[in-house]
Structure 1
Amino acid sequence: MGRWFAFFLVFGVLLPELAPLPASEPQRVGIENFERYPTGAYPDRWRFLTSSREFLPLSAVMNERKECRVRQEAQNKFLRCVTRGEALRITLVNREDFALDWDLRQHPRLRWRWRAVHLPASAREDRRHWNDSGGAVYVTFGTDWLGRPISIKYTYSSLLPAETVVDYGPLKVLVVSSGIDGMGPWVSVERDVMADYQRLFGKEPPSRPLSLTIWSDSDNTKDYAIVDFDDFELLPAIAAIR
């Protein structure tokens, strides 16, 4: 008995008590990199959502003044959104049987990259009469008691500096890239959406956002916008990354 006791004592000193194997941790999830589509095509996983919540194919709403088409440079495909005095939006709905399955508890962070080729001149999100965003990514969480969407709008602003916040009630505008820092190169953006919601709305977000939307507009300034989008990903919390 004494010999076995000593063996287990030494074994316990040399090797700490074995913990159970951790449960599998969430990994990054690719949402969209536009590689599946032919060059020049509309990205047909995305839809136009009308004010009456009807889904339309992009071909039903695109025209020469507003369009999003897949482009290619070298071996990479991306989405180019162009507006000429117009506004456009394309949406992925967050449903398990749809194109997006996003639980903030598993993947609180959103990453994408974009490139501003041209942003509408004089546009600024803090002035209603000049409120154009050449490029934006909306995360929508629900509606308020008036039926207005509750959203965070991450923008590539023409004139406002990065980290500027503009409050429009249920819509919180957060500048994450700015034309004052220059245009032309690809810019990577990574946001902790859960933390942003907590900071901007002062409470916990719903666990499942309703949708993810790509946006571009130049209708207030009557100018034009050309912004490229690529490589949308969902990421787990930083502590979960090994």
Structure 2
Amino acid sequence: MYSVSTIWTYFDKPIRFLLIVLMMLISACASVNDDSSSSTPAEALPTQENLPKFSNQNSGATMPTGWTFYRIAPFKKNTVYHLEKYQGRTVLSASSKTAASGLAIKLVPRSAQNLWLRWEWKATGMIPAADNADQQNDDAPLRIMVAFDGNKSKLSLKEKMNFELANLISGQEMPYATLMYIWSGKTPVDTTLDNPRTTRVKMIVVDSGQEHIGEWRLHERDLSADYQKAYGEAAGKVIGIALLTDTDNTQSETRAYYGDIELIRK
């Protein structure tokens, strides 16, 4: 049996945060307050049928309705999220200074077939040292993650070990697979990046570099098609969504905005 300290040492910094992000997509067991003064057990958190729109909520609130705050690790600073009236509508503001934390929402499982993810986001500046192809500098002003269910029994021995170790660390199971849409610092748009330690996370670059900085960017992605291209198999059910703005690896700072995030049948 592995000790927790041995398990934690096994994972370097980038894979640690990815594993914990993945676990929080499902467990949502971290604090729901930015100061982490209280925590909510996973079983007490309801699954959501729909993604609540930020634009329909009151500005000034720390936590948008339906979403749960999660910490990446107890020794990391938290990215600060709050609802803000910005350019005529309520959006989610993210301010990160050598920090990494995010928001997640548990969803009622639904088929990925003909299911599209639609969202808007805006980066106000780049993270100069960020390079998502380099695990030591893997930061991003904007990330949105989609978690999928699947048959874990067919995974490789290495992946099963990763899942077991993650479960021992957190007491929660990782999702079968995750798509992570990112605004990358250097990697070209439409590139799919693999994580060096796990095949169960695929990063898809939808914006990159200085182009479109300061602009609202609207994206629509066919989840089934993206999953098929990334994993070479049909997608399982969608079970969670998370977002993350992180600057911990590059020890930098950034500010970004998330508009409404929606799941749409076409």
TM beyond 0.5: yes
**1:34 corresponds to 2:34:** no
Residues 11-90 of structure 1 aligned to structure 2 (within 5 Å) = 31-42=51-62, 43-49=64-70, 66-90=79-103
Tell me the CA shift for residue 74 of structure 1: 4.6
Deviations 1:102-146 (A, max 9, x none): 4323x5111001000123222011001111011000001146523
Alignment of 1:221-240 (within 5 A): 221-237=250-266
Please give the alpha-carbon distance, in whole angstroms, between the structure 2 residues aligned to 1:177 and 1:82. Answer: 19
Q: Which amino acid aligns with 2:65?
A: D
Matches of residues 211-226 of structure 1 in structure 2 within 5 Å?
211-226=240-255
Is 1:205 aligned to residue 235 of structure 2? yes
Deviations, residues 189-233 of structure 1 (Å, cap 9, x unaligned): 110011000010000111x21210011100011001211111212
Letter in 1 for 2:122: R
TM-score (norm 1): 0.72
Give the 5 Å matches for 1:139-158.
139-142=146-149, 145=160, 146-147=162-163, 148-149=174-175, 150-158=177-185
**AA paired with 1:218?**
T
Structure 1 position 50, deviation (Å) = 6.3
The gaps in structure 2 that reach 5 residues or longer are 1-48, 153-158, 164-173
- Over 3 Å counting, the alpha-carbon distance change for 1:73 and 1:134 in structure 2 is closer
Q: Deviations over 1:76-101 (max 9, x none)?
A: 11111111111111011012xxxxx6
In structure 2, which of residues 115, 118, 131 is the aligned counterpart of residue 124 of structure 1?
A: 131
Query: Contact conserved, 2:55 with 2:260, CA < 8 A, in 1?
Result: no
Point out the structure with max Rg over C-alpha: 1
- Give 1:179's aligned residue: 209
Alpha-carbon separation, structure 2, partners of 1:233 and 1:68 = 19
**2:105 matches 1:103:** no
Name the one with the larger strand percent.
1
Q: Taking structure 2 as the reference length, what is the TM-score of the superposition?
A: 0.66
User: Are the aligned partners of 2:71 and 2:101 in contact in 1 as well (CA < 8 Å)?
Assistant: no
The secondary structure found in structure 1 opposite 2:214 is coil
Q: Distance in 1 between matches of 2:211 and 2:71?
A: 34
RMSD: 2.5
Please state whether the residue corresponding to 1:83 is helix, strand or coil.
Answer: strand
- Runs (4+) off by over 4 Å: none
Amino acid at match of 1:172: K
